[in-house]
Amino acid sequence: MTSSLIHSTRTTQPTRNVVLVSIDWRRPGDGKTSLGIASIAATLSAAGIRYQLVESTINELSFNLEREQVRIQQALDDMGPHTLLGFGVFVWNDEAICQLMSRLLLPAGTSIVLGGPQISYMPAGRLEAAYPQAQWFVRGAGEHAMLRLAQGASSDGCGVHVAGEPDQAQQASLPLNGLASPFMHGVVQMAPEIRWETQRGCQFKCSFCQHRDADGRQPTRAFDLERLRAEAQMFAAHRVKRISILDPIFHSNDSHAIAVLNLLKHAGVSAQIALQCRFEMLTEPFLNALQGLDVTLEFGLQTAIPSESRLIQRSNNMPKVEEKLALVKQRGIDFEVSLIYGLPTQTLDSFQRSVNWCQQQGVPRVKAWPLMLLRGTPLYEQKSQYAMRETEGLAIPLVLASDSFTEAEYRAMASIAEAL
């Protein structure tokens, strides 16, 4: 659990102060501050806006909602009236945030702003009923939206929906170029392991995934290379040991990917670098550009069964996959493959066949993850079609049975995954 972080500046007092609340789900290797909320904080800091960042981790045993309420209340009282209170809403903290909003005593003129995947992927017209305490909702990247709301400026292009007005379900469309770096502004502290992003969004439309642009207009948007170069130099100076790049598909644009790899080399970065990739999109120039770096390629295959991959809109060209996998092995590049269990039409036998395929291909590490049904994804809307039943009482619900596998067979798949 981290303490609140207060930034004051010498510039003109903005229209509104901001309290940002991050209730995160942290995994091994995550830093103290998630990149999403940190990027918003850096944008506010660069504009001279005073803010507090209240952070906690919901999957820590020490997490306590009443204590978080006290911390947020203190931050609001410190920042005074007419403050903006911003929450990032995810599947794991949705219920907790709803409880907090109903309990907090808001100073005069304070307004609540909600963003994050649970907001971005909510269908038009449903936000007010789900979150009656909020005044503004942000779909898509939240940096420009929070800055302009704090400044009292126009929020056109920022994906902002105002409670009570017609909901157009518009996503933020402004570019990422020029956004302040959370690393350079000191919001994210340097650590041996960090997470980094060079672009956002994905050109594919896998039916289980929230990485794709919700309205399909902007598949991917990249950060400018000047910012990425400065960050890479900082990573090298601090001798960061591992960098996990969060781009859904790092090499979706070869020229961007190669430029990033080259600037990492020029900066002298010696860290192990994890890149999320897709087999079929590997090219010789990209593979050549990996030379000189300590990289691990992470391939989200999800399933080796063609019928299952087509159904989840993740169609794998298995002959091409095998061809590219052989190239990776030939070059001695470290890599791993991840699978999902609990998919529609999947059976215990078909999941085992996907695992067997990976082992037969000589994949050095195979990881398997349970299926989650996330708001706004096609699979979320197809629960009843496949008779999917989810776990109850967990922060992140998991599919544990469907019309193609029983709960006992799910447990068997989970055991296989654990053994991997």
Q: What is the pLDDT of residue 201?
A: 86
The stretch 233-240 carries a mean pLDDT of: 97
| Residue of 96, 99, 94 lying closest to 119 (CA atoms) | 94
Instruction: Report how far residue 137's alpha carbon sits from residue 140's, in angstroms, rounded to the nearest whole number.
Output: 10
Confidence grade of residue 272 (pLDDT, cut at 50, 70, 90)? very high
Question: Mean pLDDT throughout 227-244?
Answer: 97
The alpha carbons of the chain give a radius of gyration, in whole angstroms, of: 22
pLDDT score at 277: 97
What's the confidence (pLDDT) of residue 214?
53
Whether pLDDT at 1 is above 50 = no
pLDDT attached to residue 247 = 94
pTM listed for this prediction: 0.90
Q: What angle do CA 75, 80, 82 make, to 5 degrees?
A: 110
* Tokens 């992140």, located at residue: 396
Contacts 24+ apart (CB under 8 A), 37-41: 37/88, 38/182, 38/187, 38/188, 39/143, 39/179, 39/180, 39/182, 40/86, 40/142, 40/143, 40/146, 41/5, 41/7, 41/182, 41/185, 41/187
Pairwise CA distance, residues 5 & 188, whole Å: 11
| Stretch 358-366: mean pLDDT | 97
pLDDT (0 to 100) of residue 2: 40
Task: State which H helix or E strand residue 52 sits in.
Answer: strand 51-57
Using one digit for the tens of pLDDT, what is the confidence trace for 131-177?
999 999 999 999 999 999 999 999 999 999 999 999 999 999 888 88
The pLDDT, as a whole number, for residue 7 is 42
pLDDT reading at 218 higher than 90 = no
Q: Measure the CA–CA gap between 355 and 372, rounded to whole angstroms.
A: 19
Region 169-190 average pLDDT: 92
- Calpha distance 34→37 (Å, rounded): 6
Confidence of residue 9 (pLDDT cuts 50, 70, 90): very low
Q: Regarding predicted confidence, which is higher, 38 or 210?
A: 38
Q: What is the pLDDT of residue 10?
A: 37
Q: State residue 204's pLDDT score.
A: 86
Residue 33 has pLDDT above 60, yes or no: yes
Q: 367 and 335 in contact (C-beta within 8 Å)?
A: no
Average pLDDT along the chain? 92
In this predicted model, what pLDDT tens digit does every residue of 370-414 receive, in sequence order?
999 988 889 999 999 999 999 988 888 899 999 999 999 999 999
